[in-house]
Amino acid sequence: MKRKTLSRYLIEQQREHNNIPADLRLLIEVVARACKHISHAVSRGVLGDILGNAGTDNIQGEAQKKLDILSNEILLEANEWGGHLAGMASEEMEHMYEIPNRFPKGEYLLVYDPLDGSSNIDINVTVGTIFSVLKKPEQTSGAVTEADFLQKGTEQVAAGYAIYGPQTLLVLTTGFGTHCFTLDAELGSWVLTQEHMRIPSSTAEYSINASNQRHWAPPMQTYFSELLAGEAGPRKKNYNMRWVASMVADVHRILTRGGVFLYPADARTPDRAGKLRLMYEANPMAMLVEQAGGSATNGNIRILDILPETLHQRVAVFMGSNEEVDRVTRYHQHS
């Protein structure tokens, strides 16, 4: 069977939906190329001297791994010169990155988590790169500012992740479904291998870091105790649990076979709404999940409807199969 490459897919989408102008295509192709580079670095491990801590902390106060920093640089360098971007923001940089004046500027904004699942780097477990693409607001002229990035997730023109697992995959949406490409490492091309991923609306599999249970709020305790009660409880079925601790891997499983991903807020950090970051983790994943027929909320409203106040804002995340997300959201709303 003749398979389609990413470039052909993007060109055909533009013909069909008029939603991927040349600059956006360039942006997606450049990000995909950078992810190939990161994938190669990940696979080299000790041989590439990419394991271990870098000896620095990021803005969230987390120890940066060598691979966090390398991946961030790969994405910056790949994207700064092409003329398609006005600016970038990343989990690993406190402030947004303005395109240097020696390069032409474009109208898009790229926001990313260069290496998601950092705690898994040194133990040879799946990690990934998550990205979100916005347009610089039309009413702002001149230099890009951080305020230009603070747009609702509904404004994303593209979102995706690369996952560095047994295979390297790219999962992408430009607003017309969620599609999966596999890296053919020998040819160096991304090949469309699954169109229109679908998340079944019911599931018997959940994904949560249950070691935090004692810190959750009452609605979360109720929901979780019902899952644990299995067949004998109100849900009348037995659930299975999976937690990779790489959001890319847990969400990829959900996009492939269904399930629900839960990262609730917890009482230890009342000043934060959760662990995961809205702009470069929750928003792109929420768009991919919704485009695959699932839902994503913060327990109160749709994630994509949250107006960000800061670049590194955190959020509680409930995403995946509709029945579970609806229920856990209802419990929070009615508490």
What's at 97, amino acid-wise? Y
Applying CB under 5 A, which of residues 113, 148, 205, 266 lies at the interface with Mg ion? Answer: 113
247 binds ligand AHM (CB under 6 A): yes
Q: Does 266 bind ligand AHM (CB under 6 A)?
A: no
Q: Among the candidate windows 81-89, 137-145, 218-226, 240-248, which touches ligand AHM by CB under 6 A?
A: 240-248
- Residue-wise DSSP of 188-213: TEEEEEESS----S--SEEE--GGGG
H or E element in which residue 222 lies:
helix 218-229
211-230 positions binding ligand AHM, by CB under 6 A: none
Q: Judged by CB under 5 A, does residue 116 bind Mg ion?
A: yes
Q: Supply the DSSP symbol for 265.
A: -
Nearer to ligand AHM, 68 or 148 (CB): 68
Give the phi and the psi of residue 287 in degrees, each rounded to 5: -65, -45
Report the alpha-carbon distance of residue 42 to residue 217 in Å, rounded: 37
Q: Which of 167, 209, 310, 333 binds ligand AHM (CB under 6 A)?
A: 209
Separation of CA 210 from chain center: 21
If one counts every other C-beta atom within 10 angstroms of the C-beta of residue 238, the result is 13
92 contacts Mg ion (rule: CB under 5 A): no
Contact residues for 229 (Cβ-Cβ < 8 A; gap 6+): 235
Binding-site partner at residue 305 among ligand AHM, Mg ion, none, CB < 5 to 8 Å by type: none
264 forms part of the interface with ligand AHM (CB under 6 A): no
Residue 178 interacting entry, from Mg ion, ligand AHM, none, C-beta within 5 to 8 Å by type: none
Amino acid at 141: S
Q: Which of 12, 16, 49, 62 binds ligand AHM (CB under 6 A)?
A: 62
Asked if 68 is part of the footprint of Mg ion (rule: CB under 5 A), the reply reads no
Read off the tokens for 273.
Answer: 């709404």
Give me the residues that bind Mg ion (CB under 5 A), please.
Answer: 113, 116
Give me the residues that bind ligand AHM (CB under 6 A), please.
Answer: 62, 91, 113, 116-119, 209, 245-247
